Amino acid sequence: MAIEIPKIKYSGKIKEVKLGNGEKQITVGGETSYPFHLFEGEMLNPPRIAMEVYDSPPEEWPETCLEPFKDVINSPKAWAKKCIEQFGADMVSIRLISTDPNGMNKSTDDVLPIVQEVAGTIDVPLIIWGCENDDKDAEVLPKVAEVCQDKKIIIGPATDKNYKKIGAACIAYGHTIVASTPIDINLAKQLNILLGDLGVPDGQIIIDLNIGGCTIGYGLEYAYSVMERQRQAALTQQDEKLQFPVICNFANDVWKKKEVQIDDPKLGDKKNRGILFEAITGWIQLLAGADILVMRHPEAVKLLKGMLKQLM
């Protein structure tokens, strides 16, 4: 007697969002089932991996992360090209770390040429990630949207404190906005409602549940449950305000953890430990429903791409 596998009937679907222009345009979202449940539905658009680039040389990166980029660390343009051409990044995410008021506090005029140079050099979708200071991002990111108006970039993070300015710029120039809320489904839904009321089309919204700090051993199981609830609401409860693709920008937090930083022979090889820490954290996020991962180490990216190929 054949065994019949129970299947869930899904009434919802994750909205599709097109990123970038031209031949390298990418579509994310579109799932009609839980992640990788290909026996129940479809994942027409596979999850994508973006690699980090900083607008200025990083000061806190461990040597393991600096090593693959030593020859390009002072040139964001060359750094972005290396991520694509040598390490197979589907997308590039440039973090405007130098604009942080608690750091270098560079002005908008200081970083716009860097953004334009990177945007003009690469042909894959580009994410512009602010310094995560609400006021400074509200000042810088709308200007970034203006100078990149022909590129269909992804801009974030937009929060409940600055979504009006960033959202208006995305509407005006046709970019995708990253709606960022702190690990709470209700807050995520509320911000999506506010963006819709502002006039941002559904096809220009990606969710950031802000689970970056939740890595292995640091609340990852809670982050997983929040992402899982988002997918449940979107696919089985027809909650249209949660039917958006999800981005996880987590590499920065992974490489800050003490288990990655400390020298301890009992924990095994330090370099491999960090790479595996990033890869496994990313893999769990994919299983929870991430559509885009922002990663750092090329070896971690390679591991995840290999696993994705087998599953898809």
For residues 42 and 31, give the distance between their C-alpha atoms in angstroms, rounded to a whole number. Answer: 6
For residues 281 and 141, give the distance between their C-alpha atoms in angstroms, rounded to a whole number. Answer: 29
Q: In this predicted structure, what is the pLDDT of residue 239?
A: 95
pLDDT band at 116 (very low <50, low <70, confident <90, very high): very high
pLDDT in tens, 201-253: 999 999 999 876 666 667 788 889 999 999 999 999 989 999 999 999 999 99
pLDDT higher than 90, residue 9: no
| CATH architecture classification, 17-311 | Alpha-Beta Barrel (3.20)
The residues near 62 (Cβ < 8 Å, ≥ 6 apart) are: 255, 260, 261, 274
Query: What sign does the dihedral 198-204-208-209 (CA atoms) show?
Result: positive
Q: In this predicted structure, what is the pLDDT of residue 230?
A: 96
More confident residue, 111 or 310: 111
Q: In this predicted structure, what is the pLDDT of residue 78?
A: 98
pLDDT band at 7 (very low <50, low <70, confident <90, very high): confident
Q: Are 94 and 128 in contact (CB under 8 A)?
A: yes
More confident residue, 150 or 83: 83
pLDDT higher than 70, residue 97: yes
Q: In this predicted structure, what is the pLDDT of residue 265?
A: 84
pLDDT in tens, 160-190: 999 999 999 999 999 999 999 998 999 999 9
pLDDT higher than 90, residue 269: no
- Read out DSSP for the chain? -PPPPP-PPP---PPPEEESSGGG-EEE----SSTT-TTTS---S--EEEEEEESS--SS--HHHHGGGTTTTT-HHHHHHHHHHTT--SEEEEE-GGG-TTTT---HHHHHHHHHHHHHH--S-EEEE--S-HHHHHHHHHHHHHHTTTS--EEEEE-TTTHHHHHHHHHHHT-EEEEE-SS-HHHHHHHHHHHHHHT--GGGEEEE---TT--TTTTHHHHHHHHHHHHHHHHHS--GGG-S-BEEE-HHHHTTSHHHHS--GGG--HHHHHHHHHHHHHHHHHHHT-SEEEE--HHHHHHHHHHHHHH-
pLDDT higher than 80, residue 147: yes
Q: What is the mean pLDDT of the chain?
A: 94
State the residue for tokens 């042909």: 123
**Cα distances (angstroms) measured from residue 48 to each of 89, 138, 153, 252, 295:** 8, 27, 15, 18, 10
Q: In this predicted structure, what is the pLDDT of residue 280?
A: 93
Pairing relationship of beta strands 205-208 and 292-295 according to DSSP bridges: unpaired
Buried b (16+ CB within 10 A) or exposed e, 44-60: ebbbbbbbbbbbbebee
pLDDT higher than 90, residue 13: yes
Pairing relationship of beta strands 91-95 and 48-54 according to DSSP bridges: parallel
pTM: 0.95
Q: In this predicted structure, what is the pLDDT of residue 133?
A: 97
Q: In this predicted structure, what is the pLDDT of residue 124?
A: 97
pLDDT in tens, 69-96: 999 999 999 999 999 999 999 999 999 9
Six-digit token pair at 265? 């022979």
